[in-house]
């Protein structure tokens, strides 16, 4: 079943989860509420994150780095943990959605090619597992 709201979570909300949020919005249009947050948000989006999104025509409009405390969890039926870290103690106890753990490579501090590889990993994840049947 396709989620109505999906929250992508990573460590700093500067690369992986931001990319996933932007890709989900791009792929699904307005049919799915997509958001992202970080366990320890950096407060900024890595410039190479924006660059690799722009390379494939994905808008970064409205994206910003934020923490889990800013998320209205009832709006999300699915949370995707893109890290190797446990989210125990980070999610509200009353979160009733499904939690998936799909660690993605963290490109932070890496090369442009590292960012491209993470973007492509996330693009495949969204198309193959989260939103099958969606056209890229």
- Dist CA 31 CA 102 (whole Å): 22
Domain annotation covers residue 28: yes
Which residue from 95, 53, 102, 89 is spatially nearest to 71, judged by alpha carbons? 95
CATH of the domain at 109: 3.40.50.2300
Return per-residue pLDDT of the chain as tens, 136 residues. 456 799 999 999 999 999 999 999 999 987 899 999 999 999 999 999 999 999 999 999 999 999 999 999 999 999 999 999 999 899 998 888 999 999 999 999 999 999 999 999 999 999 999 988 777 6
**Could you tell me if residue 136 is inside a domain?**
no
For residue 135, tell me if it sits in a domain.
no
**Per-residue confidence (pLDDT) for residue 3, from 0 to 100:** 63
Residue 23 CA to residue 90 CA, distance in Å, equals 24
User: Which DSSP helix (H) or strand (E) runs through 24?
Assistant: helix 16-28
Say what the pLDDT of residue 29 is: 85
* Dist. CA 71–CA 67, nearest whole Å: 8
Q: For residue 98, what pLDDT is reported?
A: 93
Give residue 103's pLDDT.
97
Global pTM value: 0.95
The CA dihedral of 108, 113, 116, 121, to the nearest 10 degrees, is -80
Q: Report the pLDDT value the prediction gives residue 4, as an integer from 0 to 100.
A: 78
Number of domains in the chain: 1
Residue 36 domain-assigned (yes or no): yes
pLDDT tens sequence across 68-102: 999 999 999 999 999 999 998 999 988 889 999 99
Instruction: Tell me which residue range forms the domain holding 82.
Output: 5-130
Is residue 17 one of the residues assigned to a domain? yes
Tokens of 69: 């405390």
């Amino acid at each position: 079943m396709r989620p109505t709201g999906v929250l992508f979570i990573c460590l700093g909300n500067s690369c992986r989860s931001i990319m996933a949020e932007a890709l989900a919005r791009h792929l699904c249009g307005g049919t799915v509420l997509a958001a992202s947050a970080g366990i320890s948000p950096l407060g900024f989006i890595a410039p190479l994150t924006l660059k690799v999104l722009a390379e494939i025509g994905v808008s970064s409009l409205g994206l910003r780095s934020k923490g889990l405390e800013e998320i209205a969890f009832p709006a999300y039926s699915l949370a995707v943990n893109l890290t190797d870290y446990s989210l125990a103690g980070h999610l509200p106890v009353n979160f009733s959605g499904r939690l998936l753990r799909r660690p993605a490579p963290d490109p932070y501090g890496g090369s442009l090619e590292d960012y491209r590889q993470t973007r492509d990993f996330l693009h495949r994840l969204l198309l193959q597992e989260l939103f099958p049947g969606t056209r890229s």
